[in-house]
Amino acid sequence: MSNTGEKTNQIMLQDSAKIQNLLKSGNVRVCVIGIGRIGLPTALFVANSKLPTIGVDINADLVNKINSKIFPLKDEPGYENIFNDVIDKKLFHATTKIEEAVPASDLILLSLPTPMDSDNIPSYDALKIVGKQLGKLITPHSLVVVESTIEPGFIENELIHIIESEGRLIAGRDFGIGVCPENANPGEILRDFTTLPRLVAGIDDKTANIILEIYHYIFPVELMHMPNCKTANAVKLTTNVFRDINIAFVNELAMLFERLDIDILKVLEAADKKYNFQVHYPGPGVGGPCLPVNSYQLLNSARKFDPNLLRIVKAGREINESMPIHVVNLLTHALAEANKTIEKSNILILGISYKPDVKDIQISPAESIVNRLRSAGATVKIYDPYFRSSNVYGIDVESELNGLVEQVDAVILVTAHKEFFDIEPTYLATKKKNLVVIDTRGIMDKHAARKAGLIFRGLGRGKSN
């Protein structure tokens, strides 16, 4: 795919038959801006459908790795083969030069981050900056599709105006713009891209129908035509905030059941048999770039109308963000049973990723737990198979688990990596007498742990001996 001097196919002027011909002949040129955790798999999936694709990112190291055929997402099963194949066939490459990639593209996909600032206000700076660039760069009658997760109304009320502010193009007349919110779970993106329905919307029916044509060709999944962009984005936020709230509910149950001497795992196992119950599990907090941010995105939208709206969402955030405190409290009580305190204790954290079997620590509850332990005077060690021999939170992550347990007073299971399910209570007990184990993920059998001689606490697992 040449980057300069080419005219696009003016995709927004074509009828359905012409678009189909362009797709089948591999003549729709695609630019994916933002090739991180979701954007790179998206770009590779598009290129794998035989459409020439270029990934754009400001991260020069990432771009150089990709162009050197070094796959950066080793925790995404199935993608490395696709990565190697589309690069070998010259269907995909990466660049930092947006000014070359965008003018030569028919379809521009935006997969940019929407993080929170220090006040938990969602930041759309990356989208706004790129929107300004698009206003200068896109060729007339090209199509822009936003896959980033955004607040309802951001497209209609902000992004379109930013693109139009350059005075070159008018949305709906000179270029198309719509949304198809990404809907993939890190660590399972290839599976999700081939099974989960996608939401599609445009600023008008013509735009939406063209997006549907293109996405039908690329993604072998059900596409749901939504009435407008803001509704599609509202659906995306609703599904994730629903999960955040329900995890908060189960976390509160877990804290109650500890006092009532009830094992929450037994409760959830039985409750899940009821037709209208959807199981969620307790944990040390909710992390990642989606759930916490999505809740604050909805809260930010509500704040513009009435600060008392979505009180349940705010409460859910407060509960989930307080869970690291509860984990440290469990540790305090368990150490007291061993006649120890957190101060001057050696604590081993097992897992710092925000979710199992993914190399990602964005908004991980592990950070809050580590910081609280260090503030209380503990020496913290970390073992996570995805971060071996790296430095995280100012701590050198251990390269091996063997030999670590003997050095610590307590172990906190924070992330449910598959590797940790193989840890037997008897193994831990033989390594250190009166070892404290705090299980925040329901990994360990509590009866086996106590029988082995561990001082065990499990989140929501009932009272200790």
Instruction: Collect all residues with Cβ–Cβ distance below 8 Å to 125 and sequence separation of at least 6.
Output: none
Fold matches, 11-227 and 243-458 = yes
Q: Looking at the DSSP assignment, which residues form a beta bridge with residue 208?
A: none
Answer left, alpha or beta for residue 442, where phi above 0 means left and psi between -120 and 50 means alpha: left
Q: In the prediction, which pLDDT does 2 show?
A: 41
pLDDT digits over 330-344, tens only? 999 999 999 999 999
What is the rounded distance in angstroms from the CA atom of residue 238 to the CA atom of residue 198?
14
* pLDDT band for position 463 (cuts 50, 70, 90): confident
Residue 4 has pLDDT above 70, yes or no: no
Sequence spans of domains, the chain: 11-227, 243-458
Average of per-residue pLDDT across 396-411: 96
- Return the CATH fold of 243-458: Rossmann fold (3.40.50)
Superfamily for the 11-227 domain: NAD(P)-binding Rossmann-like Domain (3.40.50.720)
Q: In the prediction, which pLDDT does 118 show?
A: 87
What is the rounded distance in angstroms from the CA atom of residue 126 to the CA atom of residue 249?
33
Looking at per-residue pLDDT, the higher value among 6 and 218 belongs to 218
Amino acid identity of 213?
E
As given in the structure block, the two tokens for residue 328 are 């440290």
Please, what's the largest Cα pairwise distance for the chain? 76
Residue 93 has pLDDT above 50, yes or no: yes
Instruction: Give me the helix-helix angle, 365-375 and 311-337, nearest 10°.
Output: 50
Q: In the prediction, which pLDDT does 3 show?
A: 40
Residue 465 has pLDDT above 70, yes or no: no
Q: What pTM did the predictor assign?
A: 0.94
* pLDDT band for position 6 (cuts 50, 70, 90): low
Residue 5 has pLDDT above 50, yes or no: no
Q: In the chain, what percentage of residues exceed pLDDT 90?
A: 97
Counting beta carbons within 10 angstroms of the beta carbon of residue 175, is it exposed (0 to 12), middle (13 to 18) or buried (19 or more)? buried
What is the rounded distance in angstroms from the CA atom of residue 197 to the CA atom of residue 446?
39
Instruction: Collect all residues with Cβ–Cβ distance below 8 Å to 12 and sequence separation of at least 6.
Output: 141, 142, 143, 175, 176, 206, 207, 210
pLDDT digits over 21-36, tens only? 999 999 999 999 999 9
Residue 91 has pLDDT above 50, yes or no: yes
* pLDDT band for position 7 (cuts 50, 70, 90): low
Average of per-residue pLDDT across 223-247: 98
Report CA Rg, the chain: 25
Amino acid identity of 402?
N
pLDDT digits over 169-220, tens only? 999 999 999 999 999 999 999 999 999 999 999 999 999 999 999 999 999 9
Neighbours of 113 (CB within 10 A): 19
